Amino acid sequence: MAHGLPSVMPGGQPSIGALIRGTAPTFSFEFFPPRDADMDRQLWRAIRELESLRPSFVSITYGAGGSTRDNTVAVTERVATETTLLPMAHLTAVNHSVAELRNVIGRFAGAGIRNVLAIRGDPPGNPQGEWIRHPSGVLYAEDLVRLIKDAGDFCVGVAAFPYKHPRSASVEADTEHFVRKCRAGADFAITQMFFDAEDYLRLRDRVAAAGCDTPIVAGIMPVTSMRTIERSEQLSGAPFPPALAAQFERIADDPAAVRRLGIEQAGALCERLLAEGAPGIHFITLNRSTATREVWQQLALGARA
């Protein structure tokens, strides 16, 4: 487990792990690299609009199979140099040799980026497809954690799955995998998106019972349309809570009502998680700022009430 983590990494960047272990909860945003000029404009508009909220950090995802590797590095570097935001780069093992992974890690270090989220990653084209190891690559996320830690002074996060990873044989096996990632050197974790606070609390209890104290930040994506529900199941591999789905189904023909309920539900979920001691909330923005801002404002109003 990670203890005694420095609060500042080489190059002067704060350690996200130390921030998460601090006294106040962290609030952070997740973006994905653009694939064309229009998406680039949308991304930077969202970043500029959310920058004013002064998040603890932001993360930049890594496309399936490393398809956006260069963009991930470029966007993360630009965030580090052109904004006031603290960036964290994602790194996945899919379709990469150890040599290629070391090269990317070196590029991060060269850009002054010392906070990295290590994820094994989904197969390109089909997130639920068979995972095939690169002949010269690593097999598990815990191997990727060790590779990053061995490369120098990095703060490393990993993924956690409140429901369980789609490829885990059982909840117990999933917990064992998570604890191994932490023991390999992970400093903190961020969950896959979820919509029921009990799923997060059960995960935290399982991990604590296994003797692991790695802080787990909650990953939240507000429902803004009925398509969000379908997409969440594809992205997370976890079923959407049936009782909540029924609430949305009743108003499915009213997009404004669906969005309103989604914002209210996300705000209430965040309030419950913070009341239960979650060390942070990580908003999955899909490169749009409005829904995240609305949930943020709901939380701010609740804190003042």
Q: DSSP for 209-270?
A: HTT----EEEEE----SHHHHHHHHHHH-SPPPHHHHHHHHTTTT-HHHHHHHHHHHHHHHH
Q: One of 30, 77, 142, 294 is an active-site residue; which one?
A: 30
CB 223 within 8 A of CB 269: no
Dig out the tokens for 133 from the structure: 């190891």
**CA 301 to CA 305: how far, in whole Å?**
6
CB 196 within 8 A of CB 244: yes
To the nearest 10°, the Cα dihedral for 195, 197, 198, 201? Answer: 130
Angle between helices 98-110 and 141-150 (to 10 degrees): 50
Tell me, yes or no, if 100 is annotated catalytic: no
The end-to-end CA distance of the chain, in Å, is 38
Residues with catalytic function? 30
